[in-house]
Amino acid sequence: MNVRTLLLSLAISAAIAVNASASERRFTYTYESGVLARGQVELEPRTTFRLGKEDYYARIDERVEFEVGLSNRLQTSFYLNMKSVTAKADSSLQTDFEFEGISNEWKLKLRDPVADPFGLALYFEWSASTNAVELETRVIADKRSNNFLFAFNAGVEPEWEFQVESGTDEVNAENEITFEFNLAGAYFVHPSTSVGLEVRNHNLYAQDGGYQHSALFAGPVVSYSSPTWWATLTVLPQIAKLKGSQADAGSHLVLSELEKLEVRLLFGIDL
């Protein structure tokens, strides 16, 4: 085998490896630039456990995603969103279930994390329920080098919640904006298995009250993939309050609107 044939074989092998792993997510909060190949379809359930406030609090967010590759650079997906919350009410615990509406995601891949100096993608998602509308935009950057994978996201998420003003029939839209920054790194201990760390900075700005809070989360992530399915788990405790509202004055964490611990599990199943 001459050098030219060897290089061509290596290039083809690398391309196959990149395409095979494009649907896998190695992080649960931090997105990567990869998209599904054209015509590829995947079912992706996502479960997030949110645990702990000043009093007893447990919440499960469930999102069921149907994902479709439209081209080698563009994918879309549709979600059904649900949540269940158990919290202290007076002297007892109360559990409420809520269907939170639907979502639609679009992701456009601009650069590849292996073939280019770094991967780059743009992400857009809209969500709608009977009383709220939410938009999310992200810039996604990542890099795969040998057994290491790094990713960074910067996101803005405005939300409008519709409420009836007390004592009137007038409906008002309350607006708040979430700014989030995610940083993640993983090491592949095996081609199918990676371990790493995710860091998340969550910030909230309210139309009426201004800059509300900023919290820092960090924790381990582990991922496994097979030819037909993959799974990724992140354990993400809140580790610091960078800014809190008056309701958080007595705590080193933001517990008025966030939780002490989040645990997220993603599954991807080829259809």
Q: Measure the CA–CA gap between 11 and 139, rounded to whole angstroms.
A: 28
Instruction: Report in angstroms the alpha-carbon separations of 123 from 30, 136, 243.
Output: 12, 8, 27
Backbone angles phi, psi at 10, to 5 degrees: -65, -40
Give the pair of three-digit tokens for residue 177. Answer: 């904006």
Q: Measure the CA–CA gap between 240 and 4, rounded to whole angstroms.
A: 54
Could you list the pLDDT tens digit for every one of the 271 residues in the chain? 444 444 444 343 333 333 334 579 999 999 999 999 999 999 999 999 999 998 899 999 999 999 999 999 999 999 999 999 999 888 889 999 999 999 999 999 999 999 999 999 999 999 999 999 999 999 999 999 999 999 999 999 999 998 877 667 677 778 999 999 999 999 999 999 999 999 999 999 998 888 999 999 999 999 999 999 999 999 999 999 999 888 888 899 999 999 999 999 999 999 8
Q: Measure the CA–CA gap between 62 and 45, rounded to whole angstroms.
A: 7
Task: Check: CB of residue 223 under 8 Å from CB of residue 234.
Answer: no
What single DSSP character describes residue 246? G
Backbone angles phi, psi at 20, to 5 degrees: -65, -30
Instruction: Report in angstroms the alpha-carbon separations of 216 from 63, 144, 170, 253, 262.
Output: 24, 25, 38, 9, 12
CB neighbourhood size of 152 (10 A): 18
Q: Which of 238, 235, 224 is nearest to 267 (CA)?
A: 224
